[in-house]
Chains A and B, each alone.
Chain A
Amino acid sequence: MSMSHSDGSGPSIRQLMTLEGKVAVVTGGGGHLGLEICKALLELGAQVTVVGRNPSKIEPLRSAFAEKVTFLKVDLNAKDSLPILEENLPQRFDVLVNNALTWPATPQFEKVQWDEIQVTLSSGIISPIMLSKLAFVRMAEKGGVILNNASMYGSVSPDFRIYRDSGMSNGIDYNAAKAAIIQVTKYLAVKGAPLGIRVNAFSPGPFSPPGAFDGKDWFRDELLRKMPLARIGQKWEIKGVIAFLATDLSSYVTGQNIPVDGGWTIW
């Protein structure tokens, strides 16, 4: 976009912070953070297509945003999702959020299975790469924005001691996928630069849904001790980074990974 104004002053923040007239695609848009990501885009004026397996999960969006939101039922882990995506995604879209990830079936490294790793990496890496490939074609004319949901665990390892026997630790395939998506972000940022396509990642910290710690208060306490802000992220706290990265507020930002982790990774 052109930022030059004849009088030398740039656009105002309000002028920059809009997605009016834009079309966005969000994978896994019905999840705990996915819904908030969709809300941020919708509230900024975008038309949103949610890609996922379970249409009932976006009911909260339908009631508030009606025809601004559509659902495309696809299993992103499967290779045969590709022709469905090609045929049914908007011919031109401006924003892609690679948010979906199938949680590893086995958190314990000692028990992890080949097929399970493949599922995690299909959803966490292969699918985002293929969707980005499609997005490059559909954004090529006017440019666009690709956002990748990474994780603090794409940058640091879990402290396994704090998980004890909670069963809430994440598998090695999760960390592998998240680290990979950070590199994919850089690669695509360079590839997309001449096309006007910006590519960035955001790395949430603990955004555990309500009830996640039922009967496991000790685990919650362990988590909080790892964070300077000493609290679990509220789901809506992901909206700011989406608004920033998806709009022209960040028009000179590409290839970056922005932590939204309560300070987890800074000490």
Chain B
Amino acid sequence: MRGRVVVITGGGGLLGKQHATAIHAFGGIPVIADVNLAAARRVASAVGSRAVPIKMDVTDPKSIMRVRNTVTKQFGRVDVLINNAAHDPKVGDGRNSLTEGRFEDLDLGTWNVDLAVGLTGAVLCSRYFGETMAERRGGVILNIASDLALIGPNQTLYEVPGLPSTNQPKKPVSYSVVKSGLLGLTRYLATYWASHNVRVNALCPGGVENGQAAEFLKRIIRLIPLSRMARLDEYQGAIVFLCSDASSYMTGSVISIDGGRTCW
């Protein structure tokens, strides 16, 4: 990874910081792109001296092109793009209402924003950053999907005792659609740019333990052979593997790191 320039979308988020930490530890230059510049700055200063915070709105082509120009001006190129940005609100938090995740209560505005950030954002970033990689005949795009790109949500995880069934909170459909869509994007781009030596792979992480309620944890670990959620730093190895030449013969691959959740 030494000297590799890695643009991480949603870099100011929970996992974005972990990706950046891994890249930095192996000598790379993590460009922490986030719509929230303050968050990107916090992550950059925590990660290390080579980390670069930058404001980028993945839903806005002009913003993406601006970042591409800035980064290529400063470093000469972009080696790796990690499409990591996505909305993943905690179920039951309800940005607009308590039952927001319910399919019957689908809010078109929320859906459009979720798709714009998680899926269209990845398409746009791949288009602008991937283009320069293809021109230079080399690069890597890594799409951060999810175990929910492979399986349906188990909605019993989110059940609240005592609530009528019509008010039970649910994991929203946008998340499954965004993450499944990323697998399609992965395979499409893998063949599209194969002759230009741009490798495109997907990582399907399981949930990270991050202060969830005890009852939720009790329920979800029953679905996981390793009987625990992932630790925050447990995807770093995969990030280094998939972003470096260690995976030079891999493209179009989908790697699950889910404690075994999808193997039974």
A residues near B (Cβ < 8 Å) are 156-159, 228, 263, 266-267
User: Is the beta-carbon distance between B264 and A267 smaller than 8 angstroms?
Assistant: no
| In-complex Cβ contact of B152 among A157, A158, A267 (8 A) | A267
User: By the criterion CB–CB under 8 Å, are B264 and A157 in contact?
Assistant: yes
User: What residues of chain A lie closer than 8 Å to B225, measured between beta carbons?
Assistant: 157, 159
How far apart sit A157 and B260, CA to CA, in the bound complex (Å)?
Answer: 10
Interface contact A159-B264, CB-CB below 8 Å: yes
> Can you name 17 A-B pairs with beta carbons within 8 Å?
A156-B262, A156-B263, A156-B264, A157-B225, A157-B263, A157-B264, A158-B264, A159-B225, A159-B264, A228-B152, A263-B152, A266-B151, A266-B152, A267-B151, A267-B152, A267-B153, A267-B154
B169 to chain A, nearest CB (A): 17
Residue in B151, B154, B263, B264 with the greatest tally of chain A CB atoms within 10 Å: B264
In the bound complex, what is the Cα–Cα distance between A156 and B154 (angstroms)? Answer: 17
- Across the two chains, which residue of chain B brings its CB closest to A265? B151
Least Cβ–Cβ distance between B194 and chain A, in angstroms:
24
What number of B residues sit within 8 Å (CB to CB) of A?
A: 8
CA distance A266 to B223 in the complex (A): 12
A-B contacts besides A157-B225, A158-B264, A267-B153, 7 pairs, CB < 8 Å: A156-B262, A156-B263, A156-B264, A159-B264, A263-B152, A266-B151, A267-B151
Q: Nearest chain-A residue to B147 (Cβ)?
A: A267
Q: A19 CA to B256 CA in the complex, in Å?
A: 43
Q: Looking at the assembled complex, report how far the CB atom of A172 sits from the nearest CB atom of chain B, in whole angstroms.
A: 14
Interface flags for B227-264 (1: CB within 8 Å of A; 0: not) read 00000000000000000000000000000000000111
B117 to chain A minimum Cβ distance, whole angstroms, is 25
Instruction: Give the CA-CA distance A158 to B262 in the complex, in Å.
Output: 11
The 6 closest A-B pairs by CB, nearest first: A157-B264, A267-B152, A267-B154, A156-B264, A267-B151, A159-B264
Q: Which of B40-85 contact A (CB under 8 A)?
A: none
On chain B, the residues within 8 Å of A267 by CB distance are: 151-154
Measured CA separation A157–B263 after assembly (Å): 6
Q: In whole angstroms, what is the CA distance A263 to B155 when docked?
A: 13
B153 proximity list for chain A (CB < 8 A) = 267
Nearest-CB residue, chain A, relative to B260: A157
* Shortest beta-carbon distance from B91 to chain A in Å: 15
Residue of A nearest to B154 (CB): A267
The residues in B between 123 and 157 inclusive whose CB is less than 8 angstroms from any CB of A are 151-154
Inter-chain CA distance A156–B264, complex, in Å, is 4
In the complex formed, the residue of B with least CB distance to A157 is B264
Contacts of B154 in A (CB 8 A): 267
Taking CB atoms, residues of chain A closer than 8 Å to B151 are 266-267
In whole Å, how far is B140's beta carbon from the nearest beta carbon of chain A? 30
Cα–Cα, bound, A263→B152 (Å): 10
Residues in chain B near residue A266, CB distance under 8 A? 151-152
Q: How far is the CA of A112 from the CA of B225 in the complex (A)?
A: 22
Minimum C-beta distance from A221 to chain B (A): 13
Closest to A228 in B: B152
- Give the distance in Å from the alpha carbon of A239 to the alpha carbon of B16 in the complex: 49
Residues of B contacting A159 with CB < 8 Å?
225, 264
Cα A254 to Cα B133 in complex, Å, equals 39
Q: Which residues of A contact B262 (CB under 8 A)?
A: 156
Q: How far is the CA of A267 from the CA of B151 in the complex (A)?
A: 4
Complex: A101 Cα to B152 Cα, angstroms: 31
Closest CB in chain B relative to A173 CB, distance in Å: 18
* Whole-angstrom CA separation of A52 from B4 in the bound complex: 64
A263–B153 Cα distance when bound, in Å, is 12
Q: What is the minimal beta-carbon distance from A69 to any residue of chain B, in angstroms?
A: 38
Minimum CB–CB distance from A168 to chain B (whole Å) comes to 16
Q: Chain A residues with Cβ under 8 A from B263's Cβ?
A: 156-157
**Of listed A157, A266, A267, residue having the most chain B CB within 10 A:** A267
User: How many Å lie between the Cα of A157 and that of B262 in the bound state?
Assistant: 9
Give the docked Cα–Cα distance between A228 and B153 (Å).
Answer: 10
B186 CB to nearest chain A CB (Å)? 21
Complex Cα gap A266–B150 (Å): 8
Shortest beta-carbon distance, B243 to chain A, in Å? 30
Q: Give the distance to chain A from B263, nearest Cβ to Cβ, in Å.
A: 5
Contacts of A263 in B (CB 8 A): 152
Chain A residue with minimal CB distance to B223? A267
CA distance A228 to B154 in the complex (A): 8
Q: Which residues of B contact A156 (CB under 8 A)?
A: 262-264
Q: How far, in whole Å, are A158 and B264 apart by their CA atoms in the complex?
A: 6
